[in-house]
Structure 1
């Protein structure tokens, strides 16, 4: 993984994705004391940044591999991303989803012709079910966050943001499986002089925070967070990148996530999902530390079950 690889990935996936807008809010700047630049991946195809990594992963397969289809496990956004990318490229997508995944995300997968296989809501169940499908169908497994091609594809969101605003002091993302923050950290490393990357994570699912402290991948025993996209853990491909290039991770409480989400809905008039609000919540919790800085926040997605809002 180097600068040239990221540039190649950006060119490869460009025909298949949107270059999403960067929004600003004078009121949120005043509330936070920070100059904020929101990279709106909630306006991305299928409603989240994950189409970037999914598209790059599928385009990296050989023609023979594509003919046998792809399989992944996901609580929703990567499921939709793989389904849409596979549909565009004319191949079959098998999608393992936890039974409690938001219905809006299941509906999205069906819209893009992905075939859903449900499982229990644990990382172990997801992985075992996906492995079974891989063996049965001969499909290529695409990991939602712990695969080089996915990490590099994800990094293109930060690349675009830095092209538009090269003088950012801080880049912030949510932390779930680690694929977005790892890609963002690579982009910041290769395309800026000293922009720091900081993650936001729910207090009740703080495996990445604990992993950086212990120096090894930690796991969650509870998954009871409103940020449904962050109920997973780091992997052996993204964790070394995070260790090397991420400054730190800030943990936030559930009510802080909900308040940050509500602020963006009310003040910016855009739809974001709870996972997406976590880095903004982390900034608000520590706003004195970031005062007068230029901070880019990647709004990771906007796939929300409107019948089950947290506020």
Structure 2
């Protein structure tokens, strides 16, 4: 299987530079945070979605999403003047579905196990291009620009902690970081209650957890499983993976708000949760805060 290269990531960086924010590294104690919550759609997903639409130039797009990719694709589709349909699972936070509609996309709500099949059916029936949330080289290359910026801003980085859901972000970040700084360690982080990636890497193959199992975690953006493409990237380039508890995720959300003045949704806080847990390698560390689209009531609870 052909993997995304650093040249693909650099090409993506050129395509998205007028749209995606070049987020800074924010000091938090002895570590740094990469706050992708500062993107126009509140999450890193704008990088991959915009790169995909700019590369494919479709007449219209459809996707399935837990929320952030849907927002990003809706934003990109609006920029290019094409229609967008986003299929979301029941239980998707309203703050995310409202934002998707706000960017002009149509939202279709389905049971979690039907999100992919309904998106594929919609693509076929309406003649739309399916842009998956992580299972595409253009998506991975776009997300890899996060890693490119980390190494440019902190050339002697030693550890990068990155959330893992479907694996697109971790695939891209590990591609860029390992190409530019081979000695740095890239560690994936996921919730214990959606630990399919850790199990997959341990088993040497993709292990799929059913939605009823992954939907137990508060980290709604990390409930998806790896694809064969993202598994291949993580198996080749990730240095390890750790899991965090629900209590650790909540504590990390509060820590980011109080110590770094940064808003994180649960999925965005898992990398910081791993850092605070002490279960990761020591060194000059960057944690990727992947998104800040959090329900206000939940944010009040954790603070």
CA distance in 2: counterparts of 1:216 and 1:290, whole angstroms: 25
Q: Which string of whole-angstrom CA distances, capped at 9 and with x for unpartnered residues, describes residues 190-221 of structure 1?
A: 11131111011111110000000101111223
Q: State which of 101, 113, 116 in structure 2 corresponds to 1:127.
A: 116
Give the corresponding residue for 2:272: 280
Distance 1:119 1:6 in 2: 33
**1:154-165 to 2 correspondences below 5 Å:** 154-165=143-154
Separation in 2, partners of 1:20, 1:121: 32
Verify the 8 A CA contact 1:158 1:298 in the aligned structure 2: no
With structure 1 as the length reference, what TM-score do the two structures score? 0.92
Q: How far did residue 297 of structure 1 move? A: 1.1
Deviations 1:51-79 (A, max 9, x none): 000001101114xxx22x00000010000
Q: Does 1:91 align with 2:94?
A: no
Of 28, 31, 48, the residue aligned with 1:36 is 31
1:139 maps to which of 128, 146, 152: 128
Q: CA RMSD in A?
A: 1.2
Over residues 218-255 of structure 1, what are the superposed CA-to-partner deviations in whole Å (9 max), with x where a residue is unaligned? 12231201111001100011111100110111011111
1:208 lines up with 2:197 in the alignment: yes
Normalising by structure 2, report the TM-score: 0.94
Q: Give the SS at the match of 1:225.
A: coil
- What are the equivalent positions in structure 2 for 1:10-49 lying under 5 Å apart? 10-25=13-28, 29=29, 35-49=30-44
- 1:64-213 aligned at under 5 Å gives the runs 66-67=58-59, 69-122=60-113, 125-213=114-202
Native 8 Å contact 1:39 1:299 kept in 2: yes
Alignment partner, residue 246 of structure 1: 238
Counterparts of 2:135 and 2:274 in 1: how far apart (Å)?
24
Matched residues in 2 for 1:2 and 1:275: separation? 26
Cα distance, 1:5 vs. partner? 2.0
Hey, what's the Cα distance between the residues in 2 that align with 1:306 and 1:84? 22
Shift of 1:307: 2.6
The answer to whether the 8 Å contact 2:253/2:265 transfers is yes
Q: Do the aligned partners of 1:96 and 1:117 also contact (CA within 8 Å) in 2?
A: yes
Larger CA deviation: 274-283 vs 176-185: 274-283
Structure 2 residue ranges without an equivalent (≥5)? none
Residue in 1 that maps onto 2:219: 227
Q: Which secondary structure does the structure 2 equivalent of 1:167 belong to?
A: coil
Aligned equivalents of 2:276 and 2:262: distance in 1? 19
CA apart distance, 1:132: 1.0
Give, in whole Å, the separation in 1 of the partners of 2:20 and 2:274.
Answer: 28
- Runs of 4+ off more than 4 Å: none
Residue 173 of structure 1: CA displacement? 0.7
Q: Is 2:90–2:109's contact at 8 Å kept on the other side of the alignment? A: yes
> Could you say which residue in structure 1 is the equivalent of 2:52?
57
